[in-house]
């Protein structure tokens, strides 16, 4: 399939990666190296011709029967640069990923040229580096003698503008160190970070202490953290607040943080006094300039429109999905899907770590086994590379966004 990767149009374009088709004989196709150019072929002045008929990384997957899938080296078709850059980005090592992709653009990447350049532009955009984006766009235009992508005026289709969001889910405890470290790294890179705690089920002293330590560190760097669904965190911790019982100090402090984020100064002062009496130490102080979470109002349709026909809620993944638990993808398994298609909008999915991507693979595989066709749309190139690496394209259609 030939396509123009950076062709400009009024609507975003996507590259479609469909689930693998059966391979006869049970043998995965063998990739052949590109044939050498004919000696008599006309010269193109040293330019690299971008052959957009790429080697399909899905060739190694074959279906065995309804609901069954055997994945045989699905990532074998991916260039090593794509694999490494995807993992670096998933681990929030953005600088290393940027250096790797920048160096790779000077190499002969063969059929992976388009994807590597797309990942480079996507990473520049994700990090807000417009100068680097423009410099690479100029190099692209000069090298391939065709129009380069322009810096997107708006976020991806359907994306919400604003600071990045990290979601905490499940139980926050000592085993959550990787998630807290991720929060630490992200928080020190962006002026404001949103922390969504709406999916937390439990928290112990170790988890509370780690989160509080990370919050302090981020704020020492002059950054701000807006806690989304702080009311849920407050309600989760409220039963543990027992005046006169000197235990669970980190949870008390996290409870005070929730009150701070909610702007409830009166309740904060009452609990602060109880904390001082219970633990015989100074409590955290109220900070009136603390950034509060800004949640976009939900548009309520007119009553007449509601009676006309119910609107099906959009299934979407968004923000930074790090250290996800099973319930992080509950939206994918709930509700009915029209025409047997599970369409997931990924336009605002900025990043996903390897563990979360593996969990997503399991959820999508289960959905596909029931006869539903999963379809991930508007997936950013850096995220798409990780999904291809772990084999999601073997069980779902991936539509990668293009600039």
The residue among 382, 386, 322, 392 whose CA lies nearest residue 360 is 392
Residue 336 confidence (pLDDT): 65
pLDDT higher for 10 or 81? 81
pTM over 0.85: no
Residue 238 confidence (pLDDT): 94
The residue among 129, 98, 101, 95 whose CA lies nearest residue 114 is 101
Q: Is residue 35 part of a domain?
A: no
pLDDT bracket for residue 393 (50, 70, 90): very high
- What is the distance between the alpha carbons of residues 353 and 383, in angstroms, rounded to a whole number? 9
pLDDT bracket for residue 262 (50, 70, 90): confident
10 contacts 55 by C-beta, under 8 angstroms: no
pLDDT bracket for residue 127 (50, 70, 90): confident
Residue 345, pLDDT above cutoff 80? yes
Give the highest mean pLDDT range of 65-79, 158-172, 220-234, 256-270.
Answer: 256-270
340: which residues sit within 8 A by CB, 6+ positions away? 371, 372, 373
pLDDT higher for 210 or 14? 210
Residue 50, pLDDT above cutoff 50? no
Share of residues in the chain with pLDDT > 70 (%):
70
pLDDT bracket for residue 120 (50, 70, 90): very high
pLDDT bracket for residue 163 (50, 70, 90): low
Residue 18 confidence (pLDDT): 53
Residue 258, pLDDT above cutoff 60? yes
Map residue 397 onto helix, strand or coil. Answer: strand
pLDDT bracket for residue 219 (50, 70, 90): confident
Q: Is residue 137 part of a domain?
A: no
pLDDT higher for 382 or 334? 382
Share of residues in the chain with pLDDT > 90 (%):
36
Q: Is residue 180 part of a domain?
A: yes
Lookup: tokens for 171: 């139980």
Q: Residue 261: which domain range? A: 165-279
Q: Domain total for the chain? A: 1
- Which whole number is the average pLDDT over 47-75? 35
* Alpha helices (H) along 280-316: 303-308
Lookup: tokens for 280: 């015989």
5 contacts 114 by C-beta, under 8 angstroms: yes
Q: Please, what is the average pLDDT of the chain?
A: 75
Q: Is residue 261 part of a domain?
A: yes
pLDDT higher for 178 or 3? 178
Q: Is residue 179 part of a domain?
A: yes
Residue 160, pLDDT above cutoff 90? no
Q: For residue 176, what is the domain's CATH number?
A: 3.30.750.24
Q: Is residue 181 part of a domain?
A: yes
Residue 129, pLDDT above cutoff 70? yes
Q: Is residue 337 part of a domain?
A: no
pLDDT bracket for residue 323 (50, 70, 90): confident
């Amino acid at each position: 399939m030939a396509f123009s990767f950076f062709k400009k149009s009024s609507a975003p374009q996507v590259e479609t990666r469909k689930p693998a088709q059966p391979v006869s004989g049970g043998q995965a196709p063998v990739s052949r190296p590109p044939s050498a150019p004919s000696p008599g072929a006309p010269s193109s002045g040293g330019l690299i011709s971008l052959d957009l008929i790429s080697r399909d990384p899905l060739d190694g997957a074959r279906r065995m029967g309804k609901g069954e899938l055997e994945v045989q080296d699905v990532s074998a078709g991916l260039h090593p640069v794509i694999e490494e850059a995807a993992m670096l980005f998933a681990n929030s090592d953005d600088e290393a990923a940027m250096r790797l992709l920048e160096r790779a653009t000077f190499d002969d990447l063969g059929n992976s040229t388009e994807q590597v350049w797309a990942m480079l532009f996507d990473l520049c955009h994700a990090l807000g580096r417009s100068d680097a984006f423009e410099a690479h766009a100029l190099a692209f235009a000069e090298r391939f003698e065709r129009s380069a992508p322009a810096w997107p005026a708006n976020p991806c289709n359907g994306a919400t503008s604003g600071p990045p969001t990290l979601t905490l889910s499940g139980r926050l405890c000592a085993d959550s160190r990787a998630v807290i470290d991720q929060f630490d790294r992200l928080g020190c890179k962006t002026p404001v970070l949103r922390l969504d705690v709406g999916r937390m089920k439990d928290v112990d002293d170790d988890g509370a202490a780690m989160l509080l330590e990370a919050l302090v560190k981020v704020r020492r760097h002059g950054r701000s953290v807006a806690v989304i669904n702080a009311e849920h965190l407050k309600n989760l911790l409220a039963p543990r607040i027992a005046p006169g019982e000197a235990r669970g100090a980190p949870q008390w402090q996290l409870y005070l943080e929730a009150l701070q984020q909610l702007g409830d100064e009166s309740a904060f002062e009452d609990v602060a006094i109880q904390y001082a009496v219970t633990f015989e130490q100074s409590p955290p102080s109220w900070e009136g300039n603390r950034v509060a979470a800004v949640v976009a109002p939900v548009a309520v349709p007119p009553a007449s429109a509601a009676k006309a026909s119910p609107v099906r809620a959009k299934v979407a993944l968004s923000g930074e999905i790090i250290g996800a638990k099973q319930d992080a993808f509950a939206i994918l398994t709930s509700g009915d899907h029209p025409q047997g298609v599970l369409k997931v909008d990924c336009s605002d999915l900025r990043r996903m770590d390897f563990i979360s991507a593996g969990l997503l693979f399991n959820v999508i595989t289960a959905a596909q086994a029931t006869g539903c066709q999963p379809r991930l749309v508007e997936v950013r190139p850096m995220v798409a590379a990780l999904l291809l690496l772990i084999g999601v394209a073997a069980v779902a259609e991936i539509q990668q966004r293009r600039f």
